Amino acid sequence: MPSGGVHSRDSAAPGPTHTSTVYAKALGSKITEQKIIVDELSNLKKNRKVYKQQQNSHIFFLEDRIKMFSESKNTLDKLRKDYQALENSETLGRE
Amino acid sequence: MEDFLCQLGFSFSDLAWGILETPIPSTYRKSHILDMTRLRDEADPRISSLVSLSLCSPSTMKERSRSPLTPITMMFILSRAKHTWVEPSETESVVTNCQEKIQHWEKVDNDYSALQERLRTLPDKLSYDIMVPFGPLAFMPGKLVHTNEVTVLLGDNWFAKCSAKQAVGLVEHRKEHVRKTIDDFKKVLKNFESRVEFTEDLQKMSDAAGDFVDIREEIKSDFEFKGKQRIAHKPHSKPKTSDIFEAEFENGIKPQGTFDDDELWARLEELERQEELLGELKSKPDTVIANGEDTVSSEEEKEDEDTGVNVVSPVTDSSAPSSCKRHGGNAGLPNGQTSSLNYSVNGSNSYHSNKEDEEEEEEEDEDDDEEDDDDESDHAVSADNSIPTIYFSHTVEPKRVRINTGKNTTLKFSEKKEEAKRKRKSGAASHSAHELPAIRSPADIYRVFVDVVNGEYIPRKSILKSRSRENSVCSDTSESSAADVDIDRRAPLRSPSSEETEAGSSTLEELQENHPKKPLPSGVSEAFSGTVIEKEFLSPSLAPHSAIAHHALPTIPERKEVLSEASEEPAKRVSKFRAARLQQRN
C-alpha cells in the first residue's frame, strides 16, 4: 500500500492577489507548503508510491516519485523567486 | 466611468467653472479651458457629462491631484463631490467584495486549466493507476481505463459522452466564460479602487493643507423640524377663526344681537314648556306613537325639509330682517295659535305638515292647552323678570359642549317628532340671536364647523380645512351659522328620551342631517311660532348679555351628566329650567 501520498493541490501558480500584503501572505504559506512537500519527498523510501491528486477532485493519479520530487522543487524555486520579487517591489515602493 | 461621475453629482459646468475660477498654471489651463468652453456650448447634457468624464475620470483626477492643479480647485471639487459621494466604507466594501469574487473565479479558472491539462494528456496512455475515492475518507487502488472517453456534465444533471479532445474544447469554452467574468470584476474593482484612492488623495491633501477650510452646511435634525411645524400650526388656526367671526358680524347680525337675546329668552321658556310636556308625555307612554309610523313620518319630514331647503335657500341673505318683522307680527299670539299658524304657513310653502305631524301636533296642542295655564302664568312671571333671561346662553352652552365632546358621533337622537318640530319652529325664530354668543370659547368655534357625514355630526379636525363645504354646517353667512346653532340646540334635547325606538331615532338623525340648511327657510318664511311673540313681549331689555356667560359655565357639567344618564334626563331638565328661573327671579 502506498503510505506516502503526496497531495500537491496547490502546485499551480496562485492567481495574482490584489493587495500586495495579501499576495505576500498567500505566497509565504505556499512556500512553506512546498518546502514540506519537498522535504517529505526527499525523505521517502525508494519503493514508495507517490500519488498526486487531480485538482478539484478526489482522484489520485500514480506518479513517479523522482519526477514529483523534481517538480515540487521547481515549484518551490519559482515561488521563492516570486516572493523575492514582491518583497523587492515593496521595498522600492516604500523608498 | 460614467456612473462614477453621476454618483459624484458633477455637472460639467460645475467642474468647468470650478477649474476656471481657480488659478491654474497657464499651460494646463489653456488646453482644458478650451475643452470646456467647447463643451459648454453644447446643450446636450449627456455630451457634457461625457466630456466631463473625459476630463475628470477618477484616474485623471488622481493625476491632477499630482499635477499642477491648485489645491483650491481640488477642494472645490471635493466640496462639490461630498454631497453625492458614496461613503468611503461603502466603496471599500465593494472593492473587497470584488476581490473575493475575482479570487473565486480565478480558482475556478485554475481548476479548469488543470482539468484541461489532464484531459489533454489523458489519452496518452491506455490506462492509469489511480487511487479511487471510496467515499470522502477511503481510497482503493484502481485503474483508469477508457482514457479517451469522458462524460461531461452539461448542467442540471445532464451529461454528454465525448472524447477527451472534445472535452478539452468544452473546458476551453467554459474557461472563456470564466475569464470574461473575471475581466468584468476586475473592471469594477479598478473603478472602485481608483475611487478609493481618489478620496484618500483628497483627504491627504486636505490634511496636508491646513489653510483650507472645509465649508459644510449641516442639515437640521428632524427634531427641530417637528418643533417648527407645531409652532407654525397654532398661530395659523387662530386668526382664521377670528376672520370668520368678523365675517358674521359684517353680515349685519350684530345689531340684532339684543333682539336675539330676547328671542332666546322666549325660546327658553318654550323649551321649558316643552319639557314639562315631555314629562307628561313620558308618563303618557310615548310608545303610543307606533315605531313604524314614527319612522315613516320622520322620513317624510326629512323629505319635506329637503324640499323646503331647496325652495327657500336663495332667500337666505335677506332672511334676518324679514324674520325680525315676522316676529313682530306674530307677537302677542298665544302658544296654541302660533303653532297652528305656523303649520298653515308650512303647508303652503313646502309640504311640511304631514298627517302624523298634524295629529301629533294636535295631541301636543291639547297638552299645551292643558298646561297653558301654568305656562302662561310662567310666561307672565318670566316676562316680568325677562331681563335676567341669561338662561338662553345657559341652555345653548351645554349643547355645544356635547357636540364638542363628540357626542354627535355616537348620539342617537331618540326624541319625539313633536319635540323636533317644536325645536325647529322655535329654533328658527331665535336662531339669529345665537350668533353673537355662539362663539365664546375655542370649543364653540369647533361647533360652528361641523360636518354632517352619514347623518352624524362630526366635528372637523381642523377649522382651517374647507373640506366638504357643501356638507358642512360651516358658517359662511350669518344665517348658516345660525342654523348650525339651531341644530346644536336641538340635538341635546332629542337625545334624552330613550323611549323611542332606534329606527325612529335613526330617521331623526337623518332629519337632523338636513336640518342645517332647513332652519333658514323655516325661519324666514314659515316656522316662526309663538316663541317669537313672546320674545317681543318679554324683551325690550338687553341686559341678558352679561348674565349669560355666568350661568353657562356652571351648568355645563350637569349637562354632561345628563348625557350619561339618558333615561333620567327629562326630569332633570325640567328641574333645571325651573331652578334657573327661580334663580333669575331671585
Nearest to B516 by CA among B271, B305, B297: B305
* Residue B219: predicted pLDDT: 79
* Residue B209: predicted pLDDT: 65
What does the alpha-carbon distance between residue B70 and residue B68 come to, in Å, rounded to a whole number? 6
Angle B362-B364-B366 (CA atoms, 0-180°, nearest 5)?
70
Kindly state the helix (H) or strand (E) to which residue B161 belongs, with its residue range.
strand B158-162
Angle B170-B103-A78 (CA atoms, 0-180°, nearest 5)?
90
- Per-residue b/e over B255-283, b at no fewer than 16 CB within 10 Å? ebbbbbbbbbbbbbbbbbbbbbbbeebbe
* Residue B415: predicted pLDDT: 44
CA atoms within 13 A on the CB side of B497: 29
Nearest to A61 by CA among A73, A72, A49, A69: A49
CA distance to B7, B405, B530, per residue, from B347 (Å)? 78, 37, 17
> What are the two backbone dihedrals, phi and then psi, of residue B458, each rounded to the nearest 5 degrees?
-120, 115
The model carries a pTM of 0.34
- Provide the 10 A C-beta neighbour count for residue B230: 8
* Residue B88: predicted pLDDT: 61
* Residue B238: predicted pLDDT: 53
**Looking at beta carbons, which residues of chain A come within 8 Å of B106?**
15
Q: Is A5 on the interface with B (CB under 8 A)?
A: yes
Stretches where chain A sits below pLDDT 70 are 1-19, 94-95
Q: Do B131 and A59 touch (CB under 8 A)?
A: yes
CA distance to B4, B11, B66, B85, B203, per residue, from B62 (Å)? 14, 19, 7, 16, 12
Q: Do A56 and B144 touch (CB under 8 A)?
A: no
Q: Do residues A55 and A9 lie in contact, with contact meaning Cβ atoms separated by under 8 Å?
A: yes
Kindly state the helix (H) or strand (E) to which residue B202 belongs, with its residue range.
helix B164-208
**Looking at beta carbons, which residues of chain A come within 8 Å of B130?**
51, 59-62
Which neighbouring-strand residues pair with B112?
A: none
Angle A42-A44-A45 (CA atoms, 0-180°, nearest 5)?
130
Minimal Cβ distance to B111: which of A18, A55, A58: A55
User: Grid coordinates in use for B581?
Assistant: 328661573
**Looking at beta carbons, which residues of chain A come within 8 Å of B141?**
1-2
What's the gap in Å between the CA of B175 and the closest CA on chain A? 15
The set of residues, in sequence order, having a beta carbon less than 8 Å from that of B327 and lying 6+ positions away, is B259, B263, B429, B528, B532, B533, B535, B536
* Residue B354: predicted pLDDT: 44
* Residue B489: predicted pLDDT: 46
Q: What residue ranges do the domains of chain A occupy? A: 64-95
Minimal Cβ distance to A15: which of B103, B115, B139: B103
What does the alpha-carbon distance between residue B260 and residue B390 come to, in Å, rounded to a whole number? 12
* Residue B394: predicted pLDDT: 53
What's the gap in Å between the CA of B84 and the closest CA on chain A? 28
Minimal Cβ distance to A60: which of B114, B139, B193: B139
What does the alpha-carbon distance between residue B128 and residue A4 come to, in Å, rounded to a whole number? 19
CA B579 to chain centre: 44
Its sign, for the CA torsion A22, A25, A31, A37, is negative
Burial label for A54, CB within 10 Å (0-12, 13-18, 19+), is middle
Minimal Cβ distance to A62: which of B107, B113, B130: B130
Minimal Cβ distance to B131: which of A12, A19, A60: A60
What does the alpha-carbon distance between residue B528 and residue B424 come to, in Å, rounded to a whole number? 9
The set of residues, in sequence order, having a beta carbon less than 8 Å from that of B274 and lying 6+ positions away, is B419, B422, B423, B493
What does the alpha-carbon distance between residue A64 and residue A41 come to, in Å, rounded to a whole number? 11
Q: Do B144 and A59 touch (CB under 8 A)?
A: yes
Residue linked to cell 337622537 = B413
Range list of H helices, B86-138: 88-121
User: Grid coordinates in use for B414?
Assistant: 331618540
Nearest to A86 by CA among A31, A38, A41: A31
Q: Is A18 on the interface with B (CB under 8 A)?
A: yes
Interface of A with B in 32-91 (CB under 8 A): 51, 54-56, 58-62
pLDDT in tens, chain B (586 residues): 444 444 444 433 343 333 333 343 433 333 343 344 333 444 444 433 333 333 344 444 444 444 444 444 444 444 444 444 555 677 778 888 888 999 899 999 999 999 999 999 999 999 999 999 998 899 999 999 999 999 999 999 999 999 999 999 999 999 999 999 999 999 988 888 888 888 788 777 777 666 667 778 887 766 555 555 555 655 555 555 444 444 444 444 444 445 577 888 888 888 888 888 877 665 544 444 444 444 444 444 444 444 444 444 444 344 444 444 444 444 444 444 444 444 444 444 444 444 444 444 444 444 444 444 444 444 444 444 456 565 655 554 444 444 444 444 444 444 445 555 555 555 444 444 444 446 677 777 777 777 666 766 776 666 666 554 444 444 444 444 444 444 444 444 444 444 444 444 444 444 444 444 444 444 444 555 545 554 444 444 444 444 444 444 444 444 444 444 444 444 455 567 677 777 777 6
**Looking at beta carbons, which residues of chain A come within 8 Å of B133?**
58-60
Nearest to B331 by CA among B530, B184, B499, B487: B530
